[in-house]
Structure 1
Amino acid sequence: MRKLVYVVLTALAVALVGCVTINVYFPEAAAQKAADQFIGKVLDNGGANPAPAPKQPKPAATDGQPSAMLLDLLVPAAHAADTPDIRIQTAATEAISQRMQGRFQGALGDLLDSGAAGFTRDGMVAMRDAAKVPLSQRAQANATVADENRDRAALYREVANANNHPEWEAQIRATFAKSWIEKAHAGWYYQNASGAWQKK
């Protein structure tokens, strides 16, 4: 009887540890692909082809071993953590994408092209050189940057919430920050890791 209780408690402990590991894991590769797809759509005005969904790996053969079969029964999704998917398309993210596209085709694109604004290392936009904007247009330029940053903050929060992991918001922001910089057009400014402005 004692042996049976020990086996059951051990199996439950393994299952709980497996579940915690799966729930805490941040799918960095999937998040990077999703960020690249979203940003490509925004910067290229929807011209980017969406990346295909990652394929799930086939489950490993258990060779009839009872312990392996028991683990598969208790934690059937354990092997799915290798290539998880991340949800990025919601009604809110689509609306944000449309607003961002409009800004990149208009005022924000002009600010980036002139070097007045640039991408920050934390996934936002900042005025880099206000002197490049005529005094009469500076208030509008600041409002454009503020609108973009408001949408970016909402985007990162929405993606985390859409994946039922609000605690991922900082990691999603970092992933998007990297992608914004990588996809910046030639001539645009961005902040490097130390915060210094560089021209792409």
Structure 2
Amino acid sequence: MRRWMGIPVAAVMVTACVTINVYFPAAEAREAAKEFVDKVIGEEVPAAAPADDKSGGPSAMLAPMSWRQLASRVDVYALVGIGSAHAQSPDISIKTPAIQAIQSRMAARFNSTLRAGFDAGALGFASDGTIVVRDASKLALKDRAQIQQAVAEDNRDRNAVYREVAVANGHPEWESQIREVFAKQWIASAHSGWWYQSGSSWKQK
């Protein structure tokens, strides 16, 4: 009896000694950035087909387990309130009204004005997550002012969304990391023939 009474005390002591460090969830940020970017400049990638069930069928799922097998599947740390590092890591949400409003503006602007500039080779994705007019000579004179204005408006929205994603997820200090992840995703999602900045030079996909 005395042996079992000591377990709750030990569990409390272990829990009190554990410090969970909240780190920047890079993988989740990349996934969120891809979702955001694809809805602005292109179609979403179709979901992958579910993998075949190789577990051996229903009979394998219903097979009885020994006490040893059952014990091996019990998460002792979860029983005393200590979650795994993965469970404690934050997700990256882009579903807030403010972020979705920015996304809608950017998608509408891209389809109405900016896409033509990218297709013509006049615009490019900069390495800092913004867009620039890299070669205005590829634009008709009558279109230059409109596209330059659209670029300025889009960059304001880009700066705003990087900040908003960080703030919405409770970590304003992540803004620079969010920007870096998005900057890479704009380039990764760029269509064939579009230009992007690589170091101090420009490259075409």
Pick the TM interval, shorter chain.
0.7 to 0.9
Matches within 5 A, 1:122-137: 122-137=128-143
RMSD: 2.7
Q: Give the TM-score of the pair, scaled to structure 2.
A: 0.74
Distance 1:131 1:79, change over 3 A: closer
Alpha-carbon shift at residue 138 of structure 1 (Å): 2.2
Larger Rg: 2
Give CA-to-partner distance per residue, 1:2-48, whole Å, 9 cap, x none: xxxxx99x757733x32xx12xx00000110111111111112xx42
Give CA-to-partner distance per residue, 1:67-88, whole Å, 9 cap, x none: x579x43x44644146x42111
Q: Write the distance in 2 (CA, Å) between the matches of 1:69 and 1:129.
A: 58
Structure 1: runs of 5 or more not aligned: 1-6, 53-58, 63-67
Alpha-carbon shift at residue 51 of structure 1 (Å): 7.0
Matches within 5 A, 1:42-53: 42-44=40-42, 47-48=43-44
Letter in 2 for 1:169: E
Q: Write the distance in 1 (CA, Å) between the matches of 2:182 and 2:101.
A: 17
Distance 1:51 1:146, change over 3 A: farther
- Match among 36, 39, 45 for residue 37 of structure 2: 39
Q: Give the TM-score of the pair, scaled to structure 1.
A: 0.75
Relative contact order, higher structure (CA 8 A, sep 6+) = 2
- Whether 2:201 is the aligned partner of 1:196: answer yes
| Aligned counterpart, 1:14 | 17
Q: Write the distance in 1 (CA, Å) between the matches of 2:123 and 2:187.
A: 13
| Aligned counterpart, 1:26 | 24
Give CA-to-partner distance per residue, 1:39-72, whole Å, 9 cap, x none: 111112xx426879xxxxxx9622xxxxx579x4
Q: Write the distance in 2 (CA, Å) between the matches of 1:133 and 1:49.
A: 31
Q: How many residues align?
A: 172
- Match among 155, 159, 163 for residue 149 of structure 1: 155
Distance 1:60 1:173, change over 3 A: farther
Structure 2: runs of 5 or more not aligned: 1-9, 49-72
- Match among 56, 75, 87 for residue 61 of structure 1: 75
- Whether 2:116 is the aligned partner of 1:113: answer no
Q: Secondary structure at the match of 1:102?
A: helix
Letter in 1 for 2:184: K
Q: Secondary structure at the match of 1:106?
A: helix
Moved over 4 A (4+): 10-13, 49-52
Q: Write the distance in 2 (CA, Å) between the matches of 1:117 and 1:157.
A: 24
